[in-house]
Homo-oligomer: A and B are copies of this chain.
Amino acid sequence: MSNRWIQPGDNADITMERKKATFDVEKMSEWIYGGKQILDRRREILAFVKSVDDFKDPVPVEFMSREDRVENGTRKIVKMTDNTDQIDGSDFFGEGMYYQSLVMGRDLHPLSLHYVMFLPTLQGQTNDEQLDQWLGPAIARSIVGTYAQTELGHGTNLSKLETTATYDPKTEEFVINSPTVTAAKWWPGGLGKSSNHAIVVAQLYTNGECKGPHPFIMQLRDIETHKPLKGIRLGDIGPKLGINGSDNGFMLFDNVRIPRKNMLMRYSKVLPDGTYVAPAHAKLGYGTMVFVRSIMIKDQATQLGAAACIAVRYSSVRRQGEITPGEREVQILDYQTQQFRIFPQLARAFVFLFAAYEIKELYMKVTEDLTKGNTELLPELHALSSGLKSIVSWETAQGIEQCRLSCGGHGYSQASAFPEIYGYAVGGCTYEGENLVMLLQVARFLMKAAEEVRNGTSNLAAICAYLGKKGEGRSKLSHHLDYTSDQIIADLEHVAREQVFRAYDRLKAAQQHLRPEDAWNSVSLELSKASRWHVRLYLARNFLNKISSAPADLKKVLIDLAKLYVFDIISASSGQFLLGGYMTEQQLDQIKEGIYSCLANIRPNAVSLVDSWDYDDVELKSVLGRRDGNVYEALLKWAQQSQLNKTDVLPTFHKYLGPMMKEGRSKL
């Protein structure tokens, strides 16, 4: 088989690995990305990005100060959005995401919120007149906007936001104010230094009554000088665990007046005399959130895949320890413990990516249904996307760290790119809905479904159909080699169903003696566990389904990945499968044997499996994960760029160490 990843001058070990593959890498890449056409387009985009000098970093970003990093990112993002005729940056799920990750790396940038929140909010929440006024300038980049909702003291519970917008009918203005420190807007990307406009969410007061949080558009900085406007205090919120190229900001208002028409009025309105007009229909805000999450899940899968790619490639060229005394040291990928650290992460990356595709498909379907007034699937899809976001982001973060640790000391160096990948990806556990809060949202949906089943009024959503099934009392697993997809699904369904009803029964029991919210709180560990199993079941079923339609010659290695994913889950939670005698100890032994055999099967294909994700070195930005495997020379070269190596002798010698040693000599 020809293999585009093998090139002259490559490390001999990595070439040997590539020659071992039992499947066609290019074919796998096509399958992963949805066809030759999309893969070709990826490569066009890559070639374009490589051709533009302005997209290059003068030094890798990890050597930059925060100021330089923000400046470098600003330079690149302006250039990137100059080129919208070449790349459809608005296709966030598809080529837009790839284009951005190639140009911007693992960083958000001063225009992130402009595109992801400011523009869509204008499109969704303005009336026609407002749309005419604001959309053109926003699209033309003649203003830069952000979205300011979260406050220093307030996150998910919007009803408690403190920023006020008090209507003054005398001047037909709103007075925007931050009554306390905790009312400070906090976190919005690009707010600190880059944006000159924002959608600000504030409690609307009119005629002495609070009407709850509403969105307002505000100018923040002078168009010409970019200085903050009077009454507005803003700045950067400081360094974070990751994403430090973004100037997330804070903002406080001191009774700032804005015209009445700056309230976004597609739904609610305030008339000139202060009369509040409530929206005709409750907002259907779910859709956008689902779409954003499908993007997040794809992005997370891509980060986890990158981490696995780095770890697998490095483990194939790193030699350490002797299995046979006297012989050459072995590739560390030969250690079973190393395989078990990395391969399940690779399997997860596959599983998560295909979940992202599926969610996006469902989103498209639901959006189409919505135009026909059919909102039936929306709660189901919303719950699913919340749960997936939670499980995927957490397992991605853990998986990245396992990959990093598998690379030993070099994994700790920023040359590996792992610190950057982790800092970026793990943010996903917190933003767009804190993970545990998300799991409890899924649980609300599951408890409703469980209630329906128990009441016999079952009209279950497809995704919950398993809750109404009877199921078998015993797992049918006989031998790991014969463990069919149907049996796997039946086993996961059993455990998910048991956990959902266990949580349901405990909730009902708690409700006997506690107020509803206290009862809910008292069983929240069981509830979140139910959500986890519901999502795991979905992930496994979805990936097994996808594999069933994969090209025949790819199936074997894909099934190894899918089984490893499932076996790892079962083995790590064996107690759940032993309960009620559902599985026997012999069956669990089979699961273990299955893990060993999957690891052994994946071993010769490992490098080609990560190659098939089609990461270019420009995208990976990892010295350890280089395509050519020549990591050591590259590490030495990378280190030369350290900020501390600009001079042979640091000022610390002249100021501190030199005098100290001189004094020491004088004492001898």
Binding site for B on A (CB under 8 A): 62-63, 65-67, 70-71, 74-75, 78, 110, 136-137, 140-144, 150, 152-157, 160, 181-182, 184, 186-187, 192-194, 196, 223, 225-228, 235-242, 247, 250, 318-325, 329, 334-338, 340-341, 397, 401, 404-405, 408-409, 411-415, 418-419, 423, 426-427, 429-431, 434-436, 440, 515, 517-518, 521-525, 528, 573-580, 585, 588, 595-596, 632-633, 635-636, 638-645, 648-653, 655-658, 660-665, 667-668
Contacts and interface: CB of A to CB of B under 8 A. Distances in A.
B412 A657 contact: no
Given A329-B157, A661-B143, A239 B649 contact: no
Given A70-B652, A71-B655, A639-B235, A522 B596 contact: yes
Given A225-B649, A235-B644, A241-B412, 9 more contacts: A71-B652, A142-B664, A144-B657, A184-B636, A226-B653, A336-B521, A341-B436, A409-B430, A525-B596
A342 to B, nearest CB: 12
A404 B434 CA distance: 12
A668 B142 contact: yes
A78 B405 contact: no
Contact of A239 (B63, B334, B408): B63
* 9 tightest A-B CB contacts, nearest first: A574-B575, A142-B664, A236-B644, A575-B575, A140-B664, A74-B652, A241-B419, A238-B642, A142-B665
A588 B502 CA distance: 14
Nearest to A640: B235
Contacts of A650: 67, 70-71, 193-194
Contacts of A247: 644
A649 B226 contact: yes
11 contacts: A136-B668, A141-B661, A157-B320, A157-B321, A193-B652, A228-B648, A240-B412, A242-B412, A337-B528, A525-B596, A575-B576
Nearest to A64: B65
Most chain B CB within a 10 A radius of its CB, from A65, A523, A638, A650:
A650
B413 A337 contact: no
A74 B657 contact: yes
Nearest to A435: B405
A154 B320 contact: yes
B405 A110 contact: no
